[in-house]
Amino acid sequence: MDTIIKDTLSQHKIMLDQNCKLMISHEEMLSRIIKEFVEEAKYLSIEEIIKIVQDEHRFQRLNNENSIPGYGTVRFDFFGCIDLPQLDHTIKRIYLNVEIQNDAYPKYSLITRGDAYLSRIQTTQWGKEYNDQNYDGMKKVYLIWILPQAAKKRDGQVSICKTDEKKHLEKLESYDKREQIVIYLDKEHDTNKKYQEYDEVLTPLVVFLNNILDYQGKIRIMKEYGFKEIEREVREVCDYANILEKEYLNKGIGIGVEKGIEQGTQNERIKNIRKLMIKLKMSFKEAIQFLDIPEDEVKEIEKYFKL
């Protein structure tokens, strides 16, 4: 019985995680993250950034599965690139990786792990953005860590790590090629209290990623912060979180219920894949990679997408 409970909880945790990934890549949330933490977008308005994100010629969601022969495979939560207009009428392309990290204190440094991610992303630019005849073509990469279950004392803190030059002899664009931002959030943060810094992003993230508030409470705050088309995503996360809570309390779950939940989980995965394919114009392969669908389940799901 304990195994059944653990298995069903695990499945719903996966689905909750997948919905959280969808929410941080939602154009309204993603645009606010870009506005707040990407230097090249500081002077743009939220509305301008949303329009860029909606434009497939200026914004691309890239394959989140990064494989390097001999060095394994890494799956990013969100990975894309965006072309940002500058005040001097030039265009700057930046690469963006956003990661939700529920374990705020793993046995290794997240910053060190981030350096490995940044190196991988810069390597994938080879032959596209730069080569051995033009290293200056390398584009800057931002990696943003979101830690929704950090210690209370860290709530609202933002750590920014980037390359600096001691004597400032070189041009900034020659070495300013990577930056990591770590956002610490407390899941029990009082949403009636604004954060001293970055509140336009931090409070919506808390509302998105934590389950202290019910659906109506989440929607109320999201509307207060100017979000418009987010209700379905919020409801889905609330529904999954409520299922988790009930299952933790109910130790008498039976095999019949477990099978029903398993089928429900598959149906939700199919819905999420369709949503990505329709709204974000992803292929089936791109959608299953984005959602980290296990290989043994792909064949079963794939039949629903064949003509």
Q: How many CA atoms lie within 13 A of 123 on its CB side?
A: 11
Per-residue pLDDT band for 252 (boundaries 50, 70, 90) equals very low
Whether the predicted pLDDT of 241 surpasses 80:
no
* 8-state DSSP, 62: P
3-state secondary structure 69-131: CCCCEEECCEEEEEEEECCCCCEEEEEEEEEECCCCCCCCCHHHHHHHHHHHHHHHCECCCEE
CB distance 61 to 126 below 8 Å: no
Whether the predicted pLDDT of 7 surpasses 50:
no
For residues 79 and 185, give the distance between their C-alpha atoms in angstroms, rounded to a whole number.
22
User: In angstroms, how far is CA 293 from the centroid of its own chain?
Assistant: 16
pLDDT of residue 258: 42
Residue-wise pLDDT tens digits, 203-218: 999 887 775 677 778 8
Per-residue pLDDT band for 90 (boundaries 50, 70, 90) equals very high
Q: 256-278 burial string, b = 16+ CB within 10 Å, else e?
A: eebeebeeebbebbeebbebbee
Whether the predicted pLDDT of 187 surpasses 60:
yes
Most confident of 3-17, 58-72, 267-281: 58-72
Q: What percent of the chain has pLDDT over 70?
A: 79
Please give the residue that has the higher pLDDT: either 240 or 251.
240
Q: Calculate mean pLDDT across residues 53-57.
A: 92
pLDDT of residue 191: 86
pLDDT of residue 166: 84
Whether the predicted pLDDT of 232 surpasses 70:
no
pLDDT of residue 218: 80
Give strand ranges (E) for the chain: 59-61, 65-67, 73-75, 78-85, 91-100, 140-147, 158-162, 178-184
Q: Which sequence spans correspond to the domains of the chain?
A: 1-26+230-307, 27-198
Candidate from 5-14, 157-166, 210-219 with smallest mean pLDDT: 5-14
The contacts of residue 98 (CB under 8 Å, 6+ apart) are 24, 25, 30, 33, 77, 78, 143, 144, 146
pTM of the predicted model as reported, rounded to 2 decimal places: 0.75
Whether the predicted pLDDT of 39 surpasses 70:
yes
Whether the predicted pLDDT of 180 surpasses 50:
yes
CB distance 162 to 178 below 8 Å: yes
Per-residue pLDDT band for 229 (boundaries 50, 70, 90) equals low
pLDDT of residue 243: 47
Per-residue pLDDT band for 247 (boundaries 50, 70, 90) equals very low
pLDDT of residue 280: 61
Whether the predicted pLDDT of 197 surpasses 70:
yes
Whether the predicted pLDDT of 45 surpasses 60:
yes
Whether the predicted pLDDT of 256 surpasses 60:
no
Of 67, 105, 101, 61, residue with least CA distance to 81: 61
CB distance 97 to 79 below 8 Å: yes
Partners of 159 in the β-ladder: 182
